[in-house]
Amino acid sequence: MARAISTRRKIGITALAWALGLLIFFPILWTFLTSFKSEADAIADPPLFLNFHWTMENYFAVQERSDYFKHFWNSVVIAGGSTLLGLIIAVPAAWSMAFVPGKYTKDVLMWMLSTKMMPPVGVLIPIYLIFRSTGLLDSKTGLVIVMTLINLPIIVWMLYTYFKEIPGEILEAARMDGATLREEIIYVLTPMAIPGIASTLLLNVILAWNEAFWTLNLAASKAAPLTTFIAGYSSPEGLFYAKLSAASIMAIAPILIMGWFSQKQLVRGLTFGAVK
């Protein structure tokens, strides 16, 4: 009897999970489908689900009108560069907070997190002005710097949580074995934290790749990443849903593929601290 209830419950929960999953996935699916429709089919009422004429014309049109690969490359440089730079700063920072905590370590961590509570638009003007006077506007360097700063608190927090799980005695053993601080971090801490660092890296690449506010405001053409590429198909061109969808799919495809192949690492990254 108890078994029957639990089976029914299992089916219910599974159905609910699938329903939620599909609900979350639906916008992406719809975008995907729309990208293969003609502009007329895209705005058809009632909407067409699968019974439309499939076409690749939007993709050709998008690639003809704007340079996908230039934007793609900018995204790679900005997301990858800011992640690497972030890690280089965050590994030693998280090391010191996890293994030689001081009186104010907890406060510093909270303060770093609190910067994420600030609406970015609040500092847009000052940063814009600084960038203008230092010539960083519309430059990849500028965007790498901004992205690094935006995501640094999250990188430090994640690494801190992972490092906390590493027993301090192992690092002391390394010190006794004659390792300098640098060698201790390179040869002992980092390899042990590789799973943690990998999921931090993945999550950060995704965050930086999808970040739109700063990239749209600080880069217009030369350093513009894929977010600008998508935005280019929204308002000024009128309502070209199919082309906008094609551009969106092209922009998210690389990160979607990367995410697909690193699911396991990502799940650990997203639930960090929650499960051991």
- Name the segment binding other proteins (CB under 8 A); options: 20-28, 35-43, 52-60, 184-192: 184-192
Q: Contact between 20 and other proteins (CB under 8 A)?
A: no
Among 122, 191, 236, 238, binds other proteins (CB under 8 A): 191
Considering CB under 8 A, how many residues would be counted as binding other proteins?
18
Going by C-alpha positions, the residue among 261, 85, 111, 99 that lies closest to residue 193 is 99
Q: Contact between 91 and other proteins (CB under 8 A)?
A: no
Among 55, 175, 231, 254, binds other proteins (CB under 8 A): 175
CA 155, CA 139: separation in Å to the nearest integer? 23
| Of 77 and 185, CB closest to other proteins | 185
Q: Contact between 186 and other proteins (CB under 8 A)?
A: no
Report phi then psi at 272, rounded to 5: -60, 140
Quote the least distance from Cβ 111 to other proteins, whole Å: 24
Q: Contact between 104 and other proteins (CB under 8 A)?
A: no
CA 241, CA 230: separation in Å to the nearest integer? 11
Among 5, 50, 176, 274, binds other proteins (CB under 8 A): 176
The residues that bridge with 275 in the sheet, in sequence order, are 272
The residue length of the chain stands at 276
Do 155 and 87 meet the contact criterion of CB atoms below 8 Å apart? yes
Q: Contact between 165 and other proteins (CB under 8 A)?
A: no
* Residue 113: partners with Cβ closer than 8 Å, 6 or more residues away: 153, 157
Q: Contact between 50 and other proteins (CB under 8 A)?
A: no
The dihedral through the CA atoms of 225, 227, 230, 236 has a sign that is negative
Do 245 and 31 meet the contact criterion of CB atoms below 8 Å apart? yes
- Name the segment binding other proteins (CB under 8 A); options: 22-30, 48-56, 130-138, 164-172: 164-172
The dihedral through the CA atoms of 137, 143, 144, 147 has a sign that is positive
Quote the least distance from Cβ 197 to other proteins, whole Å: 13
- Name the segment binding other proteins (CB under 8 A); options: 58-66, 84-92, 168-176, 256-264: 168-176
Among 29, 56, 173, 186, binds other proteins (CB under 8 A): 173
- Amino acid of residue 230: I
Report phi then psi at 254, rounded to 5: -60, -40
Among 3, 64, 125, 169, binds other proteins (CB under 8 A): 169
Q: Contact between 167 and other proteins (CB under 8 A)?
A: yes
Do 84 and 205 meet the contact criterion of CB atoms below 8 Å apart? no
Among 180, 221, 234, 263, binds other proteins (CB under 8 A): 180
Using CB under 8 A, list all residues that contact other proteins. 167, 169-170, 172-180, 183, 187-188, 191-192, 194
